[in-house]
């Protein structure tokens, strides 16, 4: 295979060593040696009422944590039935030899108790079995129906403590849900937790909608809609459901994204066969034109500090990736490999740009440094595009299509995630076909 | 006299060489850009009126009108001039083998190429609108070379 998938051998990020614990996870190498992890059932305070007890949170919360950690590819969760010590003593004072006996290296324990006004206190502790020490402990206060969020937040704390990097579990993905035959596809905006749970639909499917993207700063989403058969960029408040047209352009606007401060939308405007890149300030509605070239300029994406923009242009004759300063100056082509390049998306860390590449009739998701060097292809397939970064810049979500047969049936689109290492490629289950995913920031903030 | 004739011959020779060079150049470019693969059949074509096909086809990643396309658009222009109350929208499309956002732009460029041809053949600009659907509305839902060529198109649709 000429274009094999590269593995990372170099260390990209130096782990921040905050303690002398022996256990840590090197997340720069892929999932060749996931960390054996025991996640004990939590124990329920005896004062909890039957209405809480019947929710079975003592096993549901650990199961969700286990699901998150396993899906990351960095942890290997041990079977619950091999555990020797009961949840309560394990949480209060683990007998480390019992846990070492089943060959786990870390242990997660927890306790659920009642607070005022029906609120719960969910406490977890993370233990290093090898050095027999407590690594961290934290309590969250919440209503019982919010147990999934709490589980995601605990997962993030564990991930962060063991990898030295922020987690990404307390986050959501917005995407386009697809149903119906290819020639008359119904597309709806949908949102779900990053693990695929709790899909909610934001539009009814009466008009074609494409390319939703989260605001990094608010409960807003920008996307493209064919409302009244006029393809335009819209701004949607996902809490109130109120949507607004972005700008007053006499033609198609598309490919929207937010600036990192959430104050501007950057997008393409097509007129007379020419697409250029514009920004609009959401508050003042001031519009600025950033590129002025007879070619197609589209798919703009800001660097996380807002000072640069990566975009897609065919000014060389073919689709390639360019960068420019955020005022439109200093335009530089950065992709020079064979094939066509599209959909550049700047990593939240600022160091890498993810992209889609078409080469010899295959589609690749890849990353390169922001100067175009160090191109690495993570995955090859019949069709895939539109990578979007997890909030910690370690995982990408994208969509992949399968071909339809000669009668036009059998094709479909699904969401997939893959680690920056090129390992741990996973399908994200969705109730319908799905495309155009966009990953939110951490809901609990940075 | 002789020298004059001679210089004409020389000029003709130079021209031939020049044109020859051009042809060679053209051939090389064509092979490196994957060649012309616009659909030339009639399978998906509908008609605005007798003998007036409703659509034109494009090569991969291209928005230049082929000679078949200009023939079709010429017929459309004649038809539209003969029916001056008719308005049309030109729907630009791309095949499924490209990124969504780029394809939206490409569809707009293809529709605009057709629009400009109609205008240059005497159809009033205010009678023509364009819309791009990118790869969202294939005419043929199959995933093969034939379907893709049928989907790289601009379709002229009457709006009244």
Cite the residue boundaries of each domain of chain A with CATH code 2.120.10.30: 172-439
Tell me whether residues B141 and A408 touch, CB distance under 8 A: yes
pLDDT in tens, A92-114: 999 999 999 999 999 999 999 99
**At residue A3, does pLDDT exceed 50?**
no
Q: For residue A372, what are its two tokens?
A: 């175009």
B84 min Cα distance to partner chain A (Å): 23
Q: Find residues 85-114 of chain B whose CB sits inside 8 Å of chain A.
A: 96-102, 104-106, 108-109, 112-113
Query: Taking Cα atoms as reference points, which of B44, B125, B109 lies closest to residue A297?
Result: B109
pLDDT in tens, A185-224: 999 999 999 999 999 999 999 999 999 999 988 889 999 9
**At residue B29, does pLDDT exceed 50?**
no
Handedness of CA B104, A434, A338, B94 (dihedral sign): negative
* H-run or E-run covering A163: helix A147-163
Give, in degrees to the nearest 5, the angle at Cα A88 between A82 and A93. 90
Residues of A with Cβ-Cβ distance to B63 under 8 angstroms: 273
3-state secondary structure of B52: strand
Residue B24 has a pLDDT of 37
Residue B36 has a pLDDT of 87
Global pTM reads: 0.89
**Mean pLDDT of the A359-368 span:** 97
Percent of chain A with pLDDT over 90: 87
* Letter string b/e over residues A141-159, b meaning 16 or more CB atoms within 10 A of that residue's CB: ebebeebbbbbbbbbbbbb
Residue A445 has a pLDDT of 65
Contacts of residue A4, Cβ cutoff 8 Å, sequence gap at least 6? none
Query: Taking Cα atoms as reference points, which of A116, A164, A100, A102 lies closest to residue A136?
Result: A164
Which strands make up the sheet holding A287-289, listed edge to edge? A253-258, A264-271, A274-281, A287-289
Cβ pairs A/B, distance under 8 A: 106
**At residue A16, does pLDDT exceed 50?**
no
Residue A12 has a pLDDT of 30
pLDDT in tens, A310-320: 999 999 999 99
**Mean pLDDT of the B4-19 span:** 42
pLDDT in tens, B140-149: 999 999 999 9
**At residue A29, does pLDDT exceed 70?**
no
**At residue A117, does pLDDT exceed 90?**
no
Tell me whether residues B101 and A319 touch, CB distance under 8 A: no
Cite the residue boundaries of each domain of chain A with CATH code 3.40.50.10070: 35-163
Q: How far is CA A235 from the centre of its chain?
A: 20
Handedness of CA A57, A62, A65, A67 (dihedral sign): negative
Architecture of the domain defined by A172-439: 6 Propeller (2.120)
Contact A8, A58 (CB under 8 A): no
3-state secondary structure of A67: helix
Confidence of residue A25 (pLDDT cuts 50, 70, 90): low
**At residue A348, does pLDDT exceed 50?**
yes
**At residue A226, does pLDDT exceed 70?**
yes
Tell me whether residues B104 and A312 touch, CB distance under 8 A: no
Residue A217 has a pLDDT of 84
- State the Cα–Cα distance between residues A413 and A187, nearest whole angstrom: 12
- State the Cα–Cα distance between residues B77 and A231, nearest whole angstrom: 26
φ/ψ region of A332 (left if φ > 0, alpha if ψ in -120 to 50, else beta) reads beta
* Mean pLDDT estimate for chain A: 92
Q: C-alpha distances in angstroms, B144 versus A406, A411, B151? A: 7, 12, 11
Residues of A with Cβ-Cβ distance to B106 under 8 angstroms: 296
| Other residues' Cβ atoms within 10 Å of the Cβ of residue A356 | 28
| DSSP state for residue A338 in the 8-state scheme | S
**Mean pLDDT of the A400-417 span:** 96
Query: Taking Cα atoms as reference points, which of A247, A199, A232, A239 lies closest to residue A215?
Result: A239
Residue A116 has a pLDDT of 82
Residue A243 β-bridge partners: A236
Spelled out in words, what is the top-level CATH class assigned to the domain A35-163?
alpha beta
Q: C-alpha distances in angstroms, B52 versus A308, B80, B130, B157? A: 49, 10, 19, 12
Which of A273, A278, A344 to probe the B interface (max B CBs under 10 A)? A273
Residues of B with Cβ-Cβ distance to A404 under 8 angstroms: 141-143
Contact A130, A105 (CB under 8 A): yes
**Mean pLDDT of the A364-389 span:** 97
Contacts of residue B122, Cβ cutoff 8 Å, sequence gap at least 6? B77, B81
Query: Taking Cα atoms as reference points, which of A141, A4, A190, A159 lies closest to residue A66?
Result: A159
Confidence of residue A324 (pLDDT cuts 50, 70, 90): very high
Residue B48 has a pLDDT of 97
Tell me whether residues B143 and A407 touch, CB distance under 8 A: no
Q: Which of B1-5, B38-42, B133-137 has the lowest mean pLDDT?
A: B1-5
Residue A5 has a pLDDT of 34
Query: Taking Cα atoms as reference points, which of A420, A415, A363 lies closest to residue A390?
Result: A420
- State the Cα–Cα distance between residues A401 and A414, nearest whole angstrom: 7
Residue B42 has a pLDDT of 95
- State the Cα–Cα distance between residues B92 and A120, nearest whole angstrom: 57
pLDDT in tens, A293-315: 999 999 999 999 999 999 999 99
Indicate the residue of B108, B138, B143 with minimum beta-carbon distance to A183.
B138
- State the Cα–Cα distance between residues A360 and A378, nearest whole angstrom: 16
Handedness of CA A147, A148, A152, A158 (dihedral sign): positive
**Mean pLDDT of the A124-129 span:** 97
**Mean pLDDT of the A44-69 span:** 93
Tell me whether residues A436 and B131 touch, CB distance under 8 A: no
Q: For residue A33, what are its two tokens?
A: 């040696």
Tell me whether residues A183 and B102 touch, CB distance under 8 A: no
Residue A24 has a pLDDT of 65
**At residue B8, does pLDDT exceed 50?**
no
Residues of B with Cβ-Cβ distance to A408 under 8 angstroms: 140-142, 147
- State the Cα–Cα distance between residues B103 and A49, nearest whole angstrom: 58
Contact A267, A309 (CB under 8 A): no
Using the structure block, give the residue that is written with the tokens 């509605």.
A285
* Mean pLDDT estimate for chain B: 85
**At residue A378, does pLDDT exceed 90?**
yes
Q: For residue A324, what are its two tokens?
A: 């420019």
Residue A27 has a pLDDT of 60
Percent of chain B with pLDDT over 90: 78
Tell me whether residues B104 and A411 touch, CB distance under 8 A: no
Residue B28 vs residue A77, higher pLDDT: A77
């Amino acid at each position: 295979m000429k274009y094999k998938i590269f593995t990372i051998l170099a260390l990209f990020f130096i782990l921040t060593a905050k303690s002398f614990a022996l256990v840590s996870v090197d997340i720069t190498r892929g999932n060749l040696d996931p960390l054996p992890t025991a996640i004990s059932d939590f124990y329920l305070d005896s004062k909890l009422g039957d209405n809480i007890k019947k929710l079975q949170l003592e096993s549901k919360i650990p199961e969700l944590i286990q699901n998150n950690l396993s899906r990351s590819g960095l942890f290997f969760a041990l079977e619950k039935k091999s555990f020797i010590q009961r949840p309560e003593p394990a949480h209060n004072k683990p007998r480390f030899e019992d846990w070492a006996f089943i060959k786990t290296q870390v242990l997660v324990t927890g306790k659920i108790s009642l607070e005022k006004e029906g609120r719960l206190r969910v406490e977890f502790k993370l233990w290093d079995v090898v050095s027999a020490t407590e690594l961290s402990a934290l309590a969250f206060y919440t209503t019982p129906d919010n147990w999934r969020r709490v589980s995601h937040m605990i997962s993030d704390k564990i991930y962060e403590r063991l990898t030295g990097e922020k987690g990404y579990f307390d986050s959501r993905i917005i995407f386009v849900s697809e149903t119906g035959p290819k020639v008359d596809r119904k597309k709806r905006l949908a949102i779900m937790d990053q693990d695929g749970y709790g899909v909610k639909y934001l539009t009814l499917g009466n008009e074609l909608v494409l390319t939703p993207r989260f605001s990094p700063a608010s409960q807003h989403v920008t996307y493209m809609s064919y409302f009244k058969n006029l393809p335009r960029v819209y701004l949607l408040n996902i809490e109130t459901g109120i949507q607004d047209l972005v700008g007053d352009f006499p033609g198609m606007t598309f490919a929207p994204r937010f600036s990192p401060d959430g104050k501007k939308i950057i997008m393409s405007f097509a007129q007379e066969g020419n697409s250029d890149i514009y920004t609009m300030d959401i508050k003042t509605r001031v519009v600025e034109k950033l590129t002025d070239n007879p070619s197609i300029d589209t798919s703009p994406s800001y660097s996380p500090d807002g000072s640069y923009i990566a975009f897609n242009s065919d000014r060389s004759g073919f689709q390639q990736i360019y960068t420019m300063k955020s005022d439109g100056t200093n335009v530089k082509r950065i992709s020079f490999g064979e094939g066509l390049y599209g959909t550049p998306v700047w990593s939240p860390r600022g160091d890498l740009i993810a992209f889609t590449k078409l080469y010899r009739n295959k589609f690749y998701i890849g990353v390169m440094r922001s100067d175009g060097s160090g191109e690495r292809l993570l995955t090859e397939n019949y069709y895939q595009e539109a990578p979007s970064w997890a909030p910690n810049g370690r995982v990408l979500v994208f969509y992949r299509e399968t071909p339809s047969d000669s009668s036009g049936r059998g094709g479909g689109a699904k969401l997939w995630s893959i680690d920056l290492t090129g390992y741990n490629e996973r399908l994200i289950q969705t109730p319908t076909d799905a495309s155009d995913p966009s990953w939110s920031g951490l809901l609990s903030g940075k | 006299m002789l020298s004059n004739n001679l210089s004409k011959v020389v000029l003709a020779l130079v021209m031939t060489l020049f044109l020859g060079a051009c042809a060679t150049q053209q051939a090389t470019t064509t092979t490196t850009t994957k060649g012309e693969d616009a659909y030339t059949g009639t399978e998906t074509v509908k008609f605005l009126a007798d003998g007036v096909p409703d659509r034109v086809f494009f090569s991969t990643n291209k928005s230049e009108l082929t000679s078949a396309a200009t023939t079709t658009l010429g017929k459309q222009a004649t038809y539209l001039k003969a029916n001056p109350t008719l308005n049309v929208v030109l729907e630009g499309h791309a095949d499924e083998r490209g990124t969504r956002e780029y394809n939206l732009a490409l569809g707009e460029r293809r529709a605009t190429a057709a629009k400009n041809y109609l205008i240059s053949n005497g159809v009033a600009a205010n009678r023509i609108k364009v819309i791009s659907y990118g790869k969202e509305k294939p005419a043929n839902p199959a995933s093969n070379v034939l379907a893709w060529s049928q989907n790289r198109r601009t379709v002229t649709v009457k709006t009244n």
